[in-house]
Structure 1
Amino acid sequence: MQTRTPIKIRGYHLDLYGHVNNARYLEFLEEARWDFLERQVDISSFTGSGLGLAVVNININYRRGAYVGEEIEVVTSLAKLGNKSAVMHQDVVLKGTDTLVADADVTFVVTDQKAQKAVTLEGDLRAILETWQKNSV
């Protein structure tokens, strides 16, 4: 599944130079990942199962400044599924256009909250993640 999460750029998102501060993109990307997950699973059931999600790496490429009053969309999809980790790809675009503002690859693991360690992505868990990936194409 691919989701599109709209965000309006506000004055408090800006830095000294009048464009969105690089650190704010982490928040935009996080908001979009939550949106993606909420459309896929019941978050309370997931966390109630003793599993959690942990980001282990983020790579962001900044392509164009974003400015107050502009509207962006964060397009999120599951790009890669490994043995113990997966990668979400996120494009930040000007809403209604193909203009790329930033793009990111976010690597995450599914954790056993009690043991505080990553679990192998297998069985039912892997099947669920594979449907997310298949629907992202």
Structure 2
Amino acid sequence: MHTSTLIKIRGYHLDLYGHVNNARYLEFLEEARWEFLEKQADLAQFMSSGLGLAVVNININYRRGAYMNELIDIQTSLSRIGGKSAVMKQVIYLQGTDKLVADAEITFVITDMKTQKAVALEGELLAQLQAWQNPLV
């Protein structure tokens, strides 16, 4: 399963060169990940379970500038699940086109909020993550 998040590029997203500043993509990607999670899970229940999510690695490839008033479409999916970590794939297109703006892989762990340590992705937790999984091509 994947979600699509639209974001309109505003003037405050731009740098002195007139395109989206590279650091802003972290915010755009996070917004899309939250939307993905809201559609997949009961976040209130998850947060009250004593578990949390922690990003441990982000790799972004910038492919094309994004400019004021353009709409970008961020497609987010859970692409891989390991023993203690999982990877979300995010692809940003100029809305309505095949023009690739950026793509990213975000590795995260699920942590025990008391110990602040990653928990094993097994049992019911693994089954839930597997239900979300559908890699973007």
**In the alignment, residue 91 of structure 2 is paired with which amino acid?**
D
Q: Which TM-score applies when normalising by structure 2?
A: 0.97
State the Cα deviation string for residues 76-134 of structure 1 (Å, max 9, x = none).
Answer: 00011000000000001001111100000000000000111000000000000001014
Describe how 1:1-80 pairs up with structure 2 within 5 A: 1-80=1-80
Q: Which TM-score applies when normalising by structure 1?
A: 0.97
How many residue pairs match? The answer is 137
Identity of aligned residues (%): 70
Shift of 1:136: 6.3
Shift of 1:135: 8.0
Alpha-carbon RMSD? 1.2
**Deviant stretches of 4+, over 6 Å:** none
Q: Which runs of 5+ in 1 are unaligned?
A: none
Once residues 98 and 50 of structure 1 are traced to their aligned partners in structure 2, the CA distance between those partners, rounded to angstroms, is 41
Partner of 2:85: 85
Whether contact under 8 Å (2:79, 2:135) holds in the other structure is no
Once residues 38 and 75 of structure 1 are traced to their aligned partners in structure 2, the CA distance between those partners, rounded to angstroms, is 14
